[in-house]
Structure 1
């Protein structure tokens, strides 16, 4: 009897344990399946497209406006539409099964939270502030082609060469890179370069070009050499403003100052007064240009022009004193010859040096 009871109890315990194992088996398999699916999903979200060669990203930038060129800070602000195109076979789908020809994710929420693919995070290398993104659209085609379109506003730092001011021509450059990847992983290629009818006060747009290059950066993947996309805009300053404000009036004033060589030598005080009026005018123009020009450490064309005008008018004061001294020593003939000579030497020298400065400027 006792043996029978023990056998029954053992059978009951065995059946109960088997039932627990049968129930627990699907529960243990489900987390494993979910973990494998999560790992697979992470590979889609986080990894580069599985290609033997680097991922090719075709970049296009349509510049819609250049808001400002700041010579003091050597920056320019621009607005444009940046388009990135690359291929990711993992994102290919069957249009019939999906019910759409292409999947579209638009706006920050859909792009950041719902889009399932890796994308190239492009940053402005020579940014002088934050790069503002005003809108974003990701178009995923059935063959795996990904098209990322975003409208951006940014301020870029660029080197300005003002030696020829106000006849200078500048190249404004915006340099983009895919953050965190070297050129063995991601390569940027030039797409289509376009620009609207741009208008910038005091500047004329002369051309637009785009190129790619490799630069060494410490944070760019394993090799430390990143692929860069460079958008360049060539602009030329409209010199009419400075020409009518400074150059032409000062040339007339300097030439009028040379009229002292036609004045009576006996009125030395009047001659020197005319010369000093011209000198003070040149100093006033230098003050005006200091307010217009940025604080730079080299000499520009306008600096040379102002200094030339100033020095030649100082020269008229010196000649006036020499002529007055000759008259005091009764050397009237020599004083007259000096006046006659200076009537031609000063204007020819002044205009000749201006022409030479233009010739030298054209070689810079």
Structure 2
């Protein structure tokens, strides 16, 4: 029975070939016979007849090939061998990469190639080694049920018509190509956002046929192992740049059975310039502004607290702005960690302000603090040695040599006010000299009554001229400025230390932050990682 069927096919092919040869011979005779100005129309008619004859032959050939063809059975079904399907991708455009939805998409030419022995034909009657078939022919033959395991809304382009083609070769090899937009899920790790790198994979396999029935292979085309990318077209990819891809050989993925699957991974690097100019640099400048308060005098409580509160509110606004575009994840991202570092820096500055103003606040106009200052001055004056009295009344030459008036003028106004220093007049100087002579004369007489009077006058003089004693004590100790710091601007030692320590701690923290989030090697983890390396 099989020999009879093959004989019938052989006779039909020979009959088609004979008709084709007859048509060609007739066409040549007519072309030679009618060589005149009106022969163009005759040639065209002959060409149309020839083309119609070839079309009829192809139609007849396909009908004969599809005769007794069952599209429900895969090639090699009777032999029990798996059908091998070769896949290749040519990616034209890439993106967008949606980190909020954890998806990515690209536009490509998706090609599948397999061999069906039932579609082998002889091209001797038509002269073509490859036939381009319509989509109606595609519906009549078997094709693999290829789909994307991690797909999330892929589609075939249909403008202006369905972007698909089918080509059949003489040995039964079928090329099925379609222009599609692939949208797939991407398992992203956002712990380093926006300093992150992502690896998005595409898994291609069969939906119904197990690995024993259909096996997928990458189609090797020269140097390209199944995937080719048009890098010039994807140079303007927003937010990300494609750093490369890696193709993995076929492996078995278990669902209810083991299915043959292919995998390709695309590696993306996020653009950092947007985040640098809108988040990192503004936060660093706000922290720098917070350090300016260390150089402000500690009496300016309102100014220092105002700077701190303003900076905190600015950081809050920047943080809220970053939340609107960043992905919602459970773990903190790198950007959130950086903003929290700036938060803690401001908190430390505010604590430092509080400590300074609570423990070391002076000269603020507070009556209680001023009374403490006056009491401190009284204690200092009382601690001046008693033997300084003998030096408190030097001769006129020593006073002139010391030039007390010039030293007094060099003192600040506030110090002069607290010390009650006044310039002696000539009459007072004369009286002091007379009093000194009188005291010396009274001490030589050793009279009890005169000694009592002299003691009374000396105590009165000492009480009324405390400023002079302090004045000449300053001359002996070579003090030319305010000895008590009353007129000087008060600077806290804590502020002096914070000016150096706070920037160093912040710079060290940023260095550790950079080493942890940038220099540390990226590792990608996937669920159901079935690759063969």
Q: TM-score range by the shorter chain?
A: 0.7 to 0.9
Does the 8 A contact of 2:97 with 2:240 survive in 1? no
Q: Secondary structure at the match of 1:123?
A: strand
Distance 2:149 2:505 in 1: 49
Matched, 1:320 2:338: no
In the other structure, the counterpart of 2:142 is 118
Query: What CA distance in whole angstroms lies between the structure 2 residues aligned with 1:335 and 1:326?
Result: 12
Tell me how far 1:213 sits from its aligned partner.
Answer: 2.6
Partner of residue 124 from structure 2, selected from 78, 88, 96: 96
Deviation at 1:133, TM superposition (A): 4.5
**Matches of 1:43 and 1:182, distance apart in 2:** 23
Indicate the larger mover: 91-100 or 135-144.
91-100
Separation in 1, partners of 2:300, 2:111: 75
SS in 1 for 2:141: coil
Tell me how far apart the structure 2 counterparts of residues 346 and 301 of structure 1 sit (CA, whole Å). Answer: 22
Q: Deviation above 6 Å: which 4+ runs of structure 1?
A: 329-332
Match of 2:312 among 279, 283, 288: 279
The match for 1:337 among 493, 497, 519 is: 493
Residue 353 of structure 1 is matched in structure 2 by 509
* 1:205 alignment counterpart: 242
Q: Deviations over 1:28-63 (max 9, x none)?
A: xxxxxxxxxxxx956641212124532211110111
CA shift digits 1:302-340 (9 cap, x unpaired):
0100000011111111110000011248899x9722111
Task: Tell me by how many angstroms 1:66 deviates.
Answer: 1.8
Q: Distance in 1 between matches of 2:137 and 2:295?
A: 82
- Partner of 2:492: helix, strand, or coil? helix
- SS of the residue aligned with 2:227? strand
Mapped partners of 1:170, 1:61: distance in 2: 21
Task: Tell me, in whole angstroms, the C-alpha distance in 1 between the residues paired with 2:150 and 2:107.
Answer: 15
Match among 179, 195, 199 for residue 229 of structure 2 = 195
**How far has the Cα of 1:77 moved from its partner?**
2.0
Structure 2: distance between partners of 1:266 and 1:149:
79
SS in structure 1 of the partner of residue 337 of structure 2: helix
> 1:210–1:230: 8 Å Cα contact kept in structure 2?
yes
Asked if the contact 2:144/2:206 (under 8 Å) is kept, the reply is yes
How much does 1:209 deviate?
2.3
Distance in 2, Cα, partners of 1:124 & 1:176: 5
Q: Does the 8 A contact of 1:195 with 1:208 survive in 2? A: no
Cα deviation, residue 168, structure 1: 1.0
Residue 275 of structure 1, CA deviation: 1.1
* 3-state secondary structure, aligned to 1:63: strand
Partners of 2:499 and 2:308 in 1: how far apart?
14
- In structure 2, the residue matched to 1:310 is 343
Matched-pair contact (CA < 8 Å) for 2:91–2:230: yes
Q: 2:329 aligns with which of 292, 296, 302?
A: 296
Partner Cα separation in structure 2 for residue 130 and residue 204 of structure 1: 22
Per the TM alignment, residue 262 of structure 1 is displaced from its structure 2 partner at its CA by 1.2
CA distance in 1, matches of 2:122, 2:157: 32
Q: Given that residues 315 and 339 in structure 2 are in contact (C-alpha distance below 8 angstroms), is that contact kept between their aligned partners in structure 1?
A: yes
Ranges in structure 2 where 5+ consecutive residues have no aligned partner: 1-65, 220-225, 363-368, 374-484, 523-533
Q: 1: distance between equivalents of 2:218 and 2:280?
A: 43
Pairing partner for 1:45 from 71, 75, 88: 71
Q: Which has the higher contact order (CA 8 A, sep 6+)?
A: 1
Name the TM-score, length of structure 1 as normaliser. Answer: 0.81
Match of 2:253 in 1: 215
C-alpha separation between the residues in 1 aligned to 2:209 and 2:95? 31
TM-score (norm. length: structure 2) = 0.56
SS of the equivalent of 2:165 reads strand
Residues 1-364 of structure 1 mapped to structure 2, 5 A cutoff: 44-50=70-76, 51-97=79-125, 99-106=127-134, 108-112=135-139, 116-134=140-158, 135-191=163-219, 192-197=226-231, 198=234, 199-211=236-248, 212-218=250-256, 224-328=257-361, 336-361=492-517, 362-363=519-520, 364=522
Q: CA deviation at 1:98?
A: 5.1
CA–CA distance in structure 1, aligned partners of residues 300 and 500 of structure 2: 21
1:219-270 per-residue CA deviation (whole Å, 9 max, x = no partner) reads xxxxx11111223211101100110111012112211211111110111221
Q: Is the 8 A contact 2:192 2:334 kept in 1?
A: yes
Determine if contact 1:62/1:82 at 8 Å carries over to the other structure: yes
- How much does 1:125 deviate? 1.5
Q: Count how many residue pairs are aligned between Structure 1 and Structure 2.
A: 316
